[in-house]
């Protein structure tokens, strides 16, 4: 009967994770947290092994356990953690690292003087200072330009808040209320998780609790191994590129070699381009996170995240490449390279497991950061958000329309009605486009146009839309999709097309048109039923002209 008790403890830990997740969402001050859900919360054992994780996005899967491990490395021996300590960090190059905007809160949980767990969360704070609003830049060349850096510091020491750090944050960021609000939300979420862990131990006893942790990790490993057996063994290779580093240089190759056996899946990224000037570098920890999310997608997509489940995954890459960057590389738009790395593994493996992986999707977060002064309130605003686009078709269905990239997940768009109140922006259209592509037996999902009209002078735009020169990929005879890019349509009618841009100056009346890609098609276009093609035309998903050309029909 003990087995059932252990499983109930695991489920209770997962419920505690859900509760921490909700707390952070509901108390945060940053839209990128409460709408995009760009954060994760988790519980690890005293060694940093992951027992429960609540995710808003896929991209933080290696962020929580490894940040605890790095915390334990710094605070050991005479310097070890005390009850009431709370650590914050955003170091990209150590455990948990992505970019400076993602701040981790690490909360050691003590039971009768013994360190027995960590509750931890990592969230994208909208503002951390640095050269440009939103702490993101496509033209940063060193991390020092990207904002405040917290190298595993104690924000609370034995229960007492470190006011000096608070004061320092306050004067170094552009939206101090929001930044500090996010800090308090992170601490509150971790505190609640800690309370729940203690409740569980009080109910079931410390020994049973510890046993449940071990059993859960082993369970995760077993489930992963079972799933791994269904993927054909072999060695598979492929490559991709980062098109541009923000300075018009590139493309930069990324290489992956994947070895699959029944016992493990090894991804070797050696041979990828050295780290570059510009902010598209990905740290090794970020790479591991990306590999974990695609590994989970092909093995245990529905299982609750669990450290044991990742034991069969090995990620290899020597330091200093564009996917294993070292200090002082700039990393603020690491997420584009992260998504590219996931997409590369995806493209290599999709033909082996077409029931789990469809054709290529928009492959970019298409994040925009628009800052300016609200015309009615005169307050400074930063609108930061990822954009949705088309997903690839698979061997059983057409691609989805209006969905955020694989790097996001349970993330939401910002409603027009809320956006227009909060920011000095009017949305002119929010619609699917007909830029073509994605034809096949199953059609790729349409990309979309989002037009922002700027309502006050002196606004600025930073954005990164990789895929401006590379279409989303089709599969098994399906056509490639289309491109991601953005355009500035000036008041005087002049149009400028971009892939990456930092602090582009905007005047009242200018329009920013964001264009996200249509996903790749699956199967040969001639196998698509004619009724389906006619319905697509009726719905305007494709034009008559496109249908005649791609599907070779005459209307």
Partner 1 sequence: MRVATDIGGTFTDLVCLKFDKKLGKVTDIKVSKTDTTPSNFEEGILNAISKSKLNLNEVDFFVHGTTVVINALTERKGAKTALITTKGFRDVLEIARCNRPDLFNFNFIKQPPFVPRYLRFEVDERMNYKGEIVTELNLDNLENIAKVCKEEKVEALAICLLHAYKNPENEIKLIQKLKLLLPEIEIIASHEITREWREYERSSTTVLSGYVLPIAKKYLNKLEANLKRNGLSKIPYIMQSNGGITTINDVKSNPITMVESGPASGVFGAIALGKVIDKKNLIVLDIGGTTAKCALIENGQVKITTNYKIDHSRTQAGYPIQTPVIDIVEIGNGGGSIAWIDTGGKMHVGPKSAGAIPGPAAYGRGGKNLTTTDANIILGRIHPDYFLGGELKPDYRSIHAASKSLCNALNTSKEAIAKGIIRVANANMTNALKLISVNKGYDPRDFSMVVIGGGGAMHGADLARELQVSELIVPLHAGVFSAFGMLMSDLRRDLIRTNVIALVDKTKIIIQAVFKEMRNDAIEKYKADGFSEALIKFTYYTDLRYAGQEHYVKVELPNFSKDTPLDEIINNFHTLHKKQYSFSLEAQVELVNFHLIAEVKVDKPDFPKLKNTGKKIEEALFGNQDVDFDDLGKHNTIFYNRELLEPNMRIKGPAVIAEKATTTLVTPVQQLKVDMYGNLIITMK
Binders of partner 1 among 165-204, rule CB under 8 A? 177-178, 181, 184, 188, 191-192
Under the criterion CB under 8 A, does residue 58 sit at the interface with partner 1? yes
Site for partner 1 in 478-537 (CB under 8 A): none
- Order of strands, sheet of 380-385, starting from the edge strand that comes earlier in the sequence: 380-385, 367-373, 459-464, 500-506
CB of 413 to partner 1, least distance (A): 5
Contact region for partner 1 (CB under 8 A) — 94-102, 145-153, 420-428, 500-508? 420-428
DSSP 14-56: HHHHHHHHHHHHHH---HHHHTT--EEEEEEETT--EEEEEES
Assess contact for 489 and 509: CB atoms under 8 A: no
Contact region for partner 1 (CB under 8 A) — 78-86, 423-431, 467-475, 526-534? 423-431
- Order of strands, sheet of 234-242, starting from the edge strand that comes earlier in the sequence: 234-242, 252-260, 265-268, 313-316
CB of 14 to partner 1, least distance (A): 9
Joined tokens for residue 393: 């078709």
196 vs 528, beta carbon nearer partner 1: 196
47 vs 195, beta carbon nearer partner 1: 195
d(CA 62, CA 389): 26
Residue written as tokens 């170091």?
91
In a 3-state reduction of DSSP, which class is residue 4?
helix
Site for partner 1 in 22-51 (CB under 8 A): 22-23, 25-29, 31, 34-35
For partner 1, which residue of 448, 460, 472, 484 counts as binding (CB under 8 A)? 448
Under the criterion CB under 8 A, does residue 8 sit at the interface with partner 1? yes
Tell how strand 313-316 and strand 265-268 pair up.
parallel
For partner 1, which residue of 69, 223, 373, 534 counts as binding (CB under 8 A)? 223
Under the criterion CB under 8 A, does residue 5 sit at the interface with partner 1? yes
Q: How far is CA 89 from CA 160, 164, 527, in A?
A: 18, 16, 53
Neighbours of 554 (CB within 10 A): 5
CB of 419 to partner 1, least distance (A): 9
CB of 184 to partner 1, least distance (A): 6
Under the criterion CB under 8 A, does residue 112 sit at the interface with partner 1? no
Under the criterion CB under 8 A, does residue 264 sit at the interface with partner 1? no
Assess contact for 246 and 156: CB atoms under 8 A: no
Under the criterion CB under 8 A, does residue 267 sit at the interface with partner 1? no
Contact region for partner 1 (CB under 8 A) — 11-19, 91-99, 282-290, 328-336? 11-19
| Residue of 334, 340, 348, 364 lying closest to 517 (CA atoms) | 364
Which x/- pattern over 370-399 shows residues binding partner 1 (rule: CB under 8 A)?
------x-----------x-----x--x--
What is the separation of C-alpha 89 from the centre of its chain, rounded to a whole number of angstroms? 18
Which x/- pattern over 334-373 shows residues binding partner 1 (rule: CB under 8 A)?
------------x--------xxxx---------------
d(CA 533, CA 547): 7
For partner 1, which residue of 142, 202, 226, 249 counts as binding (CB under 8 A)? 226
């Amino acid at each position: 009967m003990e087995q059932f008790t252990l499983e109930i403890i695991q489920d209770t830990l997962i419920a505690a994770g859900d509760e921490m997740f909700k707390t952070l969402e509901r108390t945060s001050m940053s839209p990128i947290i409460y709408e995009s859900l760009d954060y994760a919360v988790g519980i690890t054992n005293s060694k940093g092994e992951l027992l429960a994780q609540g995710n808003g996005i896929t991209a933080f899967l290696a962020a929580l356990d490894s940040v605890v491990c790095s915390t334990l490395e710094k605070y050991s021996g005479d310097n070890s953690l005390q009850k009431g300590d709370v650590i914050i960090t955003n170091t990209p190059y150590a455990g948990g690292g992505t970019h400076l905007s993602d701040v981790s809160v690490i909360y050691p949980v003590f039971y009768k003087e013994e360190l027995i767990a960590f509750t931890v969360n990592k969230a994208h704070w909208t503002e951390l200072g640095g050269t440009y609003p939103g702490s993101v830049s496509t033209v940063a060349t060193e991390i020092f330009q990207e904002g405040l850096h917290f190298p595993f510091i104690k924000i609370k020491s034995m229960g007492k808040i470190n006011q000096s750090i608070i004061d320092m944050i306050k004067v170094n960021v552009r939206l101090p209320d929001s930044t500090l609000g996010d800090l308090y939300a992170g601490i509150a979420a971790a505190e609640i998780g800690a309370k729940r862990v203690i409740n569980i131990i009080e109910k079931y006893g410390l020994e049973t609790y510890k046993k449940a942790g071990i059993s859960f990790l082993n369970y995760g490993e077993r489930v992963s191994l079972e799933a791994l057996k269904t993927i054909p063994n072999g060695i598979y290779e492929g490559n991709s590129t980062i098109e541009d580093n923000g300075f018009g240089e590139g493309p930069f190759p990324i290489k992956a070699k994947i070895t699959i056996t029944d016992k493990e899946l090894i991804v070797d990224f050696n041979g990828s381009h050295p780290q570059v000037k510009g902010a598209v570098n990905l740290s090794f920890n970020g790479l591991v996170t990306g590999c974990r999310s695609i590994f989970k997608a092909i093995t245990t997509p529905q299982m609750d995240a669990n450290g044991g489940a990742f034991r069969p995954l090995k990620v290899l890459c020597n330091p200093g490449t564009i996917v294993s960057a070292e200090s002082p590389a700039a990393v603020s738009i690491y997420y584009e390279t992260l998504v590219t790395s996931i997409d590369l593994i995806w493209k290599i493996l999709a033909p082996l497991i077409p029931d789990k992986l469809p054709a290529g999707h928009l492959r970019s977060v298409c994040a925009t950061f628009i800052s300016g002064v609200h015309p009615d309130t005169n307050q400074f605003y930063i609108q930061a958000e990822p954009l949705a686009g088309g997903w690839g078709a698979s061997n059983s269905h057409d691609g989805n329309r209006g969905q955020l990239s694989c790097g996001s997940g349970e993330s939401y768009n910002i409603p027009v009605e809320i956006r227009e109140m909060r920011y000095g922006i009017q949305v002119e259209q929010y619609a699917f486009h007909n830029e073509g592509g994605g034809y096949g037996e199953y059609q790729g999902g349409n990309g979309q146009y989002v037009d922002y009209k700027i309502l006050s002078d002196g606004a600025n735009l930073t954005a990164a839309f990789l895929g401006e020169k590379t279409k989303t990929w089709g599969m098994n005879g399906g056509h490639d999709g289309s491109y991601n890019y953005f355009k500035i349509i000036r008041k005087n009618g002049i149009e400028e097309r971009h892939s990456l841009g930092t602090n582009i100056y905007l005047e009242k009346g200018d329009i920013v048109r964001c264009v996200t890609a249509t996903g790749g098609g699956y199967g040969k276009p001639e196998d698509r039923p004619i009724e389906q093609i006619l319905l697509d035309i009726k719905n305007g998903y494709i034009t008559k002209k496109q249908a005649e050309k791609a599907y070779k029909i005459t209307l």
